[in-house]
Amino acid sequence: MKILVTAFGPFGERSENASSLALAGLRKAFPKIRTRTLPVDAVIAPSRLKQAISLIRPDALLMLGEAGGSTEIRLETTAWNELDFRIPDVSGRQYMQRIIREGATPSMSSTLPLREIHSSIHSLGHPVTLSDDPGRYLCNQLFFVALDHLARNGITIPAGFIHLPLESDYSTRNAVEAISEVIRTLERREFKLSEP
């Protein structure tokens, strides 16, 4: 099973991003996963994600980001066709009350098996919640662009976004353990679907 996992680089005044820290650990735990660390750039990140999907042709897409102020792993249920940046991206763009793609649906739903993932993570003792508000910054933008791109190209795979707490609020070791369980859940699900 080819799983593409993405994370973001640092932004704002921070020198690191919890998602890229976790991604480094995931690469060690799962050498066969495909990964991309994307810049917090509203133009480059979506373009590189679509290129990666075309090149890798993944069987599942898992996008990671960080959520300051959160103490729980947030399984995002919904991507919104809206941009409203509270701070500029790394290139200085600050989109306000803007549509991501004209003519697209107002929102799209994660296609990850979220209930199963929630149960698996929770059973390991990790704080986890379902969230319908991924913000209106690049995490939401990438989430929506990914689902929209997959739908427009007739690609049906599990795809979704997970927010991690900042490393100062939740250790990278714990984040890696939790997301490792997400990957194992996807692999188990694929195995069940492929059984004769």
Q: Which CATH architecture has domain 3-194?
A: 3-Layer(aba) Sandwich (3.40)
Contact of 95 with 144, CB cutoff 8 Å: no
Catalytic residue among 66, 118, 139, 181: 139
Measure the CA–CA gap between 80 and 133, rounded to whole angstroms. 8
| DSSP class of 39 | P
The domain segmentation of the chain, as residue ranges, is: 3-194
| Residue 163 annotated to the active site | yes
102 counts as catalytic: no
CA atoms within 13 A on the CB side of 193: 11
Q: Which amino acid is at 192?
A: K
Residue 61's nearest CA partner among 170, 143, 174, 165 is 143
Confidence (pTM) = 0.94
Among 66, 76, 167, 181, which one carries the catalytic annotation? 76
Q: Would you write out the chain's pLDDT as a tens digit for each of its 196 residues?
A: 999 999 999 988 878 999 999 999 999 999 999 999 999 999 999 999 999 999 999 999 999 999 999 999 999 999 999 999 999 999 999 999 999 999 999 999 999 999 999 999 999 999 999 999 999 999 999 999 999 999 999 999 999 999 999 999 999 999 999 999 999 999 987 655 544 4
Q: What residue spans of 124-171 are helical by DSSP H?
A: 138-152
- 187 C-beta neighbours (distance < 10 Å), count: 15
What's the CA gap between 100 and 104, in Å, rounded? 8
- Amino acid at residue number 101: R
